Chain A
């Protein structure tokens, strides 16, 4: 359940690759590095507008806002377990360090379309 006053970040799936991405100021990234955090409902609406514009431009699909809490360094972390898993970008039973299938580990990337 989304809480009205919780800080929020913006997520979507990249259209071409399908990977989950997060809005970081002016680009979509595959991790939370520099993710834009909206602290007020107005800021959240503005964030959502950016996402919808990106959707209209056929860069991403399925834009939505995610409730987060901020750690001591003001880095956002989703509050819901589903979104925590999404940020981790792999099944929960895969270790953090590597991809057990032996293929390229996930890399943070900057979406070419948005750059």
Chain B
């Protein structure tokens, strides 16, 4: 993975010093709260319902075991012993004290991490496919592009006070696992007819209160031209994006109101004007970064492992975990293993300091000391030898981390909701807990098959409910929490925004409604249909009816 050079290290360390000074100036009153707020947000620090919250970036979701251990140390030393992995490859601490935050940032800098631009109206943490570099279907590892963009966007003098936040995601595979069509800019690393590498560029997607699928700006921009092209998009947005209404300030509104063609023309015109003489060769910098991402020297194995097959036969629980929680690796004899942070009845995405250390230890022993973080709030071991899977599972089981539910019904995505968040209108986590308890049975989950349940505690949609097969949105209705259910959302290449089902449900009615719907689907499914396939075959109106109890 990428390692800081002296410049990166100096940049991050100076930034900590800068924030330390800003905190001091806030405490003396030199900086008003209004002025301090965007500065602290650009260093990841929110003020939430009960306390401050610090959001730390895990750029493109890649994490070393050393870094994971440090995250656990921070959870124990400065917080309440746990952290929350988010839907955008960040980790959040829920109880830090303002006075401790500069020290936390210094501890992060010790392991080449930071909280820079994890919030605020700037370019946020750049996310990527969590299976980057190991996915069987990958064209090119997207992480060097993401790292290039991370550096380019860090402390950008021109684009740090944008109309609104700005999120970029990169994938390097034909199957999109980075949700590129729902980002302000989505990039897909591709090769053109001449075999040159570059990016397909999407813009104007987003969730939030006005969900929109992005538009494709270009089929191909060469890797050498990527930074100028992104700069052109940013400059058009910074100049033209709406600032009169914060709910209309995202780039998706600009693209929508301007029209895709006219917006594309504005970007192309700006792109043509960019002075390239001041730019050093980007391809060289990309090559420098890429050297950190060369695949490890894989050992040569048969793709089928007798040891694995044997253990699966004798241990049915292990066999289920292998079926559910592993994914195809590009190297024969290796696999991608998912550690679910969705044990029955727990807060989705939370991990204790001990659990973080356990995951780090297992990564050291079995995954080349590397881990990944997914948008589904789970952890990935990207380099597991198939014949070591049983040992991995036993260690995970001992640590309480062997839930076999990846991408099944109890792998519920949920924002922190009103239990933590100052913006939330309803709770998310207790709904998720109830769903995981109701559908705890492993065999039943496998029968139901892949399904995405995503819960947001307000219309800002941090739980990505718009792209859930079943989306749950918590609102306030006449002084009580109420939950609106959407169906048919899809974050992948077949991108779709979930459609509303009808009247909402009180908190205690949500899980029953979902259970009715799942029973209906199981009755109506044909052959090996997934929930999504049955939904599309029967249509929204028939499926939504099943949510409601018969009169």
Tell whether any CB of A sits under 8 Å from a CB of B in the complex: yes
The interface of chain A, by Cβ under 8 A from chain B, is 13, 15-20, 55, 58, 61-62, 80-82, 85-86, 89-93, 99, 101-103
B97 A81 Cβ-Cβ under 8 A: no
B433 A93 Cβ-Cβ under 8 A: yes
Contact of B98 (CB < 8 Å), options: A18, A80, A82: A18
A101 B352 Cβ-Cβ under 8 A: yes
On chain B, the residues within 8 Å of A16 by CB distance are 27, 97-99
Could you list 25 examples of A-B contacts with CB < 8 Å?
A15-B27, A15-B98, A16-B98, A17-B51, A17-B97, A18-B48, A18-B51, A18-B52, A18-B98, A20-B49, A55-B33, A58-B27, A81-B418, A81-B481, A85-B49, A86-B50, A89-B50, A91-B347, A91-B419, A91-B420, A92-B418, A93-B429, A99-B80, A101-B81, A103-B80
A17 B98 Cβ-Cβ under 8 A: yes
Known: A16-B99, A19-B51, A101-B352. 13 other contacts (CB 8 A): A16-B98, A17-B52, A17-B97, A17-B98, A18-B48, A18-B96, A55-B33, A62-B33, A62-B47, A81-B481, A91-B347, A91-B429, A103-B81
Nearest 5 A/B pairs, CB to CB: A18-B52, A91-B419, A101-B81, A101-B80, A18-B51
B419 A92 Cβ-Cβ under 8 A: yes
Name which residue of chain A comes closest to B37, CB basis: A61
Residue-wise, chain B 185-222 has the 8 Å CB interface mask toward A (1 for contact) of 00000000000000000000000000000000000000
A58 B26 Cβ-Cβ under 8 A: yes
Task: Tally inter-chain residue pairs, CB-CB below 8 A.
Answer: 70
Contact of B28 (CB < 8 Å), options: A13, A55, A58, A80: A58
CB distance from B345 to the nearest CB of A (A): 9
Interface residues of B toward A: which range?
20 to 34
Q: Is B82 interfacial (CB-CB < 8 Å)? A: yes
CB distance from B543 to the nearest CB of A (A): 30
Question: How long is the Cα–Cα vector from A62 to B423 in the complex, in angstroms?
Answer: 13
Of A17, A86, A91, most B-chain CB atoms within 10 Å: A91
B47 A13 Cβ-Cβ under 8 A: yes
Q: Is B280 interfacial (CB-CB < 8 Å)? A: no
On chain B, the residues within 8 Å of A92 by CB distance are 418-419, 427, 430
Q: Which of B426-480 contact A (CB under 8 A)?
A: 427, 429-430, 433, 479-480
User: For chain B, what secondary structure do more than half of its interface residues adopt (helix, strand, loop), or is it mixed?
Assistant: mixed
Q: Is B527 interfacial (CB-CB < 8 Å)? A: no
On chain B, the residues within 8 Å of A58 by CB distance are 26-29
Name which residue of chain B comes closest to A17, CB basis: B97
Q: A58-B28, A93-B430 are in contact. Are A18 and B418 (CB under 8 A)?
A: no
B47 A86 Cβ-Cβ under 8 A: no
On chain B, the residues within 8 Å of A99 by CB distance are 80
Question: How long is the Cα–Cα vector from A101 to B94 in the complex, in angstroms?
Answer: 12
Question: How long is the Cα–Cα vector from A19 to B99 in the complex, in angstroms?
Answer: 12
CB distance from A16 to the nearest CB of B (A): 5
On chain A, the residues within 8 Å of B26 by CB distance are 15, 58
Name which residue of chain A comes closest to B29, CB basis: A58
Contact of B479 (CB < 8 Å), options: A80, A85, A89, A103: A80
On chain A, the residues within 8 Å of B347 by CB distance are 91, 93
On chain A, the residues within 8 Å of B48 by CB distance are 18
On chain B, the residues within 8 Å of A20 by CB distance are 49-51
On chain A, the residues within 8 Å of B33 by CB distance are 55, 61-62
On chain B, the residues within 8 Å of A61 by CB distance are 33, 47
Name which residue of chain A comes closest to B478, CB basis: A1
CB distance from B549 to the nearest CB of A (A): 25
Name which residue of chain B comes closest to A58, CB basis: B29
CB distance from A90 to the nearest CB of B (A): 7
